[in-house]
Amino acid sequence: MADRMKNNKISIFYKLQIFLAFAAVAAVLLPVFLNDSHWPVFARDYLEANGEEQTGAANIVSSIYLGYRAYDTLGETIVLLVAVSGTIGIISFTGKNLATGYNEDDFEGGNRKNRKRTVLMEVVTGKLGPVILIFGLYVMLFGHMSPGGGFQGGVVIASGIIFISLGTGGSENNILSHSGVLAKIEAVSFLLLVLASAIGLITGIGFFANPFNGNPIPPVGYIILLNAMIGLKVGAGIAYMSVAMLGDTDL
Amino acid sequence: MIDRILLLILFLIGFYGIIVKKNVIKKIFGLTILNSTIVMLFVLEGSKIGSHVPILEENITPIVDPVPQALMLTAIVIGVCVTALALSIVYRLFNSTGTFDIDEIRSKLYKDEE
Amino acid sequence: MQNILIHSAEFVFAPVLLPLLGAAIVFCAKAFSRGRIAKTIEYTGAAIGLLLPWLMLFIILPNLLGGSVYEGTIGGWDKNLGILYKFDGLAWLVNFLGFSVAMAAWFYSLGAGPRGPKFTAIFLIQTAALSATIMTADLFNLFVCLEVLGISSYVLVCSSEKPGAFLASFSYLMVSAAAMIFFLVGIYGLYRLTGKLSYEGIAEALAAMDNGGGITALISLALIIAAVALRVAVMPLYGWLPDAHAMAPHAVSAVLSGVLIKTPLFALSRILIIFPAGSDAGQLMGVSGGLTALIAVIIALSQKDVKKLLAYHSVSQIGYIVCAWGAALHIGVETPAGLVLMTAAFLHALYHALFKGTLFLTVGTLIDRAGNRSVYELRRGAGILKKSGEKIPVTFISFMLAAMAIAAIPPLNGYVSKNALSYALKGRWEYVVLTLASVGTVASFIKLSLIFFPPGKNHNAIAFLENPQKVHPAMKAAELFLAILCLAGGLFSPYISKIAGSLLNQSGTVGINSIPPDLYSGGNLQKTLIITLSGAAVYLLCSTKQGKAVLKRIRERPRSFSGLFTSFALGLAGMAAWLIYRTFN
Amino acid sequence: MITIILVLLIALSVFTLQHRDLLQGVVALSAFSLLSAMLFYMLRAPDVAITEAAVGAGVSTVIFVWAVKSTDRKDES
């Protein structure tokens, strides 16, 4: 009886607490969400006039993403890098044994015995994989003039790699979907990306400055370069993570 | 106006998922919803000053504000990365406790400490 | 001279770029090679990422002391669209703090684990994010930096592979990811009003409006402050910290407590300095800092787990820092009094990083050797360490130095910085609160120190590990390095304070020294003696039966996952209401 | 039109959070992402739409499905 009373008391307290949190959040956010001031046009006008000229990209979103604010994009890539390697480190430590130490050196795939796979799936994914890969390359390399870019292209490439790995029956049979190869591609393209951001430091025009000025390579070359590196890194990283996840379940 | 009120409701639903739901996977659902809401808010409001996509072709103007779009690309990706990490942590928590209930996980793991 | 200045302007990116380069090299080493070569490349990468930037900081120090500030847009774009950065004295100081502790902690991890290239790489990325956070002058870039900082620390907390660590990391992840979404709402509010993202651009545009942006601007500011304050762990928002810091590997705990909770604080001061409402926000944060210092030390006194005790002390000590920091912002950092407060706050941040780093490393060494984490059970620590092959009791000496430093015993650094805080806050109510908190600190460190000494008469003997692991030389070296810095910080404090004062001083007021002139006067020493004695009395009071019962109650107070979010929501609403109240009254 | 999509999104999010079967919740969340990608396309943000479709509906669904399949798909509470 006393126990039940106590439970009751806790639940009233709990409900009150939840209610207070909701009321606080709603009250704080309401004025921000309902603010009706006119959306500022300054940045839009500036970019409409100068964006393509300064960065060479017709896709203005790309010109911000990899031109004016490329440093943010570097940070975003790093978040993905840490998330991928952290996720793999956490899940590759299988089983309920919770040993000490950080045994994370290598992920070798885990057990793949109980995979349910039909012939239809193998044929379709195997044939579709290369097509998706090519589409991913297109999205990646033409991000400066059409929607898309390194990140989106990278994700498409990753799904192409996964399809190929599904189609060829087990990831170890195919060089592209081998986890070691993917890790190598990811590491090298991250190194190249960091070096690309530092080109400007070496030539003396500043961190993340565009080293190409139209002579001989037009300025858009830098965006394509960054897109390619980000695409490779993202593609390899996400494919690496997915191959690791496919390794120990029957997805 | 009505759109933004709906977005606020969506935001509160996401917050509800995080704070009230006991299941950790549902908490992560809530986080995903929260993240999408703010992306939608930015893009929705940023699109009000123009009528064309921000890809310049033959002087079609006015375009919508491209800055929020570029920012939201980053926000989406960061949100998914955090989700992925959270899910892998949840996977490990499930492996060591066998439950998704946050209170049970807490009492099982911190039992011997307090 | 002109040439050197231009050339050295590129050095300011070294603390961001070199750790990233090091991390990339380490990842490559992991992917391409095995064994000895991979180890060599990994250590090279770590040296590039940690040692080289630390050395480069000294190259640009003379320029910064000479009054130059490096600022501009990354990539040289228009300043309304590009990302602004600012490398000034504050950035230098925080970088110095970060790299010093990170170097020692990484070196310690060589002996104690977690080992391996992945850990090194993520550790380097975290260090890079620390210096990026303090350098940036752009709101959205701050968001990205905080996310990088966050995600690397979630992974690092997990790397201790304890089940409790996963839960701690999950709570930390959920609450700070949700807070970052509120931060984005804040960015939305400010961008909608001004169309700018750099701090200066936003402040200028808001000042140009006739109502200063109205309620939306204030609430957006409150959203941003609350999200950053969550990382700093001041009073209503500290709930995630103790578990995360206690469960992390020892080397990571040292960095988390020493550096990670202070960097966002100083980054936030960049925003608050130039916003009109910043001084009010500073006032409220100062108040909550003072309360944090006192309440957290009481909770710390009640803890059983040694690392949790240390973690709650981090909350308490950050309270000291926030208290002085907020008061400085309230007065205005350009004024001499504000500058003294800010310098004292930084001094305490630096010194706390050193002694808390030492404490986490030494206590970590002991609990790994003993296999027991309870402050009530673990005894004879010095003996256990001797059995683990420590001929010269380096760990014990380092621990005692750091414990005396945090308890403010002269001539160690804690004595200096706590006196500097008292001197700067003299005559205000915070002075009393902080003095009371100091008493609690002394009491809880008497409690903690007992783990190194032989047990008392009626102490139940407990089993220890039979063959404790040897203490690796790298661990001893890291502990000793930080402990010596603690001692040096105390002995050379006038010089350090002078350098810090002139780096923080941008308006050019000469002769700021936050160290009280009567540091070793009779009055101050007497005060220390009284605090120490009353700390001992509080400890004795706590070891009585009633005292223990009270502490048990505090220790077992209800804590829940949803409580983290409720306190965040209420803290946020409180900050918003306070800013609106102050602006419209 | 936008309002209709938003109402649908609210319905999907409630379904996601309230349904007992986590796997169905994941599918609903994936539909949520696709629908919001459509919303972005209508709001003249093709880049965001592609990213949301690829990352939100693609990658995150894969990870969610992996997590749910390798653990427990029922929510007892």
pLDDT tens, C305-314? 888 899 999 9
- Report the SS3 class of residue A112: coil
Query: Cα distance from C163 to chain B (closest Cα, Å)?
Result: 7
Residue D2 lies in a domain: no
Separation CA C344–CA C360 (nearest Å): 23
Q: Collect the ranges in chain C with pLDDT lower than 70.
A: 1-9, 457-466, 506-513
CB contact at 8 A, B69 and B46: yes
Residues spanned by the domain of C535: 286-543
Separation CA C320–CA C307 (nearest Å): 20
Separation CA C255–CA C251 (nearest Å): 7
With cut-offs at 50, 70 and 90, classify the pLDDT of residue A91.
confident
Quick check: A236 contacting C, CB < 8 Å? no
Residue type, C166: F
Residue A116's pLDDT is what? Answer: 54
Read off the tokens for C566. Answer: 């409720």
Residue type, A92: S
Q: Which chains neighbour B (Cβ–Cβ under 8 Å, 3 or more pairs)?
A: A, C, D
Residue A112's pLDDT is what? Answer: 39
CB contact at 8 A, C106 and C149: no
Query: Cα distance from A189 to chain C (closest Cα, Å)?
Result: 9
Residue C7's pLDDT is what? Answer: 53
Residue D77 lies in a domain: no
Tell me which of C328 and B113 has the higher pLDDT. Answer: C328
Residue C409's pLDDT is what? Answer: 84
* Overall domain count for chain B: 1
Separation CA A56–CA A41 (nearest Å): 22
Separation CA C436–CA A243 (nearest Å): 56
Asked whether residue A113 carries a pLDDT value surpassing 70, the answer given is no
Q: Give pLDDT tens digits for C128-158.
A: 999 999 999 999 999 999 999 999 999 999 8
Residue C263's pLDDT is what? Answer: 92
- Report the SS3 class of residue C468: coil
Residue C1's pLDDT is what? Answer: 35
What are the φ/ψ torsions at residue A52 (nearest 5 degrees)?
-70, -35
Q: CB C173 to CB B89 under 8 A?
A: yes
Give the position of tokens 């209610």.
A19
Residue D50 lies in a domain: yes
Query: Cα distance from D55 to chain A (closest Cα, Å)?
Result: 7
Residue C296 lies in a domain: yes
Q: Which chains neighbour D (Cβ–Cβ under 8 Å, 3 or more pairs)?
A: A, B
What are the φ/ψ torsions at residue A58 (nearest 5 degrees)?
-75, -30
Asked whether residue B39 carries a pLDDT value surpassing 80, the answer given is yes
Separation CA C185–CA C194 (nearest Å): 14
Separation CA B94–CA B84 (nearest Å): 15
Residue A114's pLDDT is what? Answer: 46
Residue B100 lies in a domain: yes
CB contact at 8 A, A231 and A140: yes
Q: Give pLDDT tens digits for A194-237.
A: 888 888 777 777 777 777 777 777 778 888 888 899 999 999 88
Q: Which chains neighbour A (Cβ–Cβ under 8 Å, 3 or more pairs)?
A: B, C, D
Distances (CA, A) of C57 to C54, C92, C262, C344: 5, 7, 19, 22
Residues spanned by the domain of D32: 19-69
Residue A247's pLDDT is what? Answer: 65
Asked whether residue A172 carries a pLDDT value surpassing 60, the answer given is no
Asked whether residue A174 carries a pLDDT value surpassing 70, the answer given is no
Predicted TM-score of the model (pTM)? 0.92
Query: Cα distance from C582 to chain A (closest Cα, Å)?
Result: 16
Percent of chain B scored above 70 by pLDDT? 95
CB contact at 8 A, C514 and C420: yes
Asked whether residue B31 carries a pLDDT value surpassing 90, the answer given is yes
Q: CB C565 to CB B19 under 8 A?
A: yes
Return the DSSP state at C90.
H
Residue D49 lies in a domain: yes
Residue type, B104: E
With cut-offs at 50, 70 and 90, classify the pLDDT of residue B114.
very low
With cut-offs at 50, 70 and 90, classify the pLDDT of residue D57.
confident
Residues near A174 by beta carbon (within 8 Å), at least 6 away in sequence: A164, A165, A168
Separation CA C514–CA C327 (nearest Å): 14
Q: What is the ipTM of this complex?
A: 0.92
Quick check: A55 contacting C, CB < 8 Å? no
Distance of CA D62 to the CA centre of its chain: 12
Residue C584's pLDDT is what? Answer: 84
With cut-offs at 50, 70 and 90, classify the pLDDT of residue B12.
very high
With cut-offs at 50, 70 and 90, classify the pLDDT of residue B14.
very high
Asked whether residue A100 carries a pLDDT value surpassing 60, the answer given is no
Residue C517's pLDDT is what? Answer: 73
The upper half-sphere exposure of residue A15, i.e. CA atoms within 13 Å in the direction of its Cβ, equals 5
| Nearest in space to C5 (alpha carbons), one of C82, C52, C78, C63 | C63
Residues spanned by the domain of B87: 2-109
Residue C79 lies in a domain: no
Residue B57's pLDDT is what? Answer: 76
Give the position of tokens 């004795």.
C540
Quick check: A81 contacting B, CB < 8 Å? no
Residue D10 lies in a domain: no
Biggest alpha carbon distance in chain D?
Answer: 42
- Which of B9, B32, B50 is the closest to D10 by Cβ? B9
Residue C430's pLDDT is what? Answer: 84
Average pLDDT over residues D11-16: 92
* Overall domain count for chain C: 1
Chain-wide mean pLDDT for chain A?
77
C and D in touch (3+ CB pairs within 8 angstroms): no
- Report the SS3 class of residue B3: helix
Question: How many Cβ pairs within 8 Å bridge chains A and D?
Answer: 43
Read off the tokens for A121. Answer: 């799936």
Quick check: B7 contacting C, CB < 8 Å? no
Read off the tokens for C195. Answer: 């169309």
